[in-house]
Amino acid sequence: MRSDRRDPLQQFLLGCGLAIGMTATFGPPITWALQRAEASIERENVRNQENFVGFRTAAGEQLR
pTM score, whole prediction: 0.56
Mean pLDDT of the chain: 85
| CA 6 to each of CA 10, 17, 19, 46: distance values in angstroms, whole numbers, following the listed order | 6, 15, 18, 55
pLDDT value of position 4: 58
pLDDT tens-digit series, residues 48-61: 888 887 776 766 66
CA gyration radius, the chain: 26
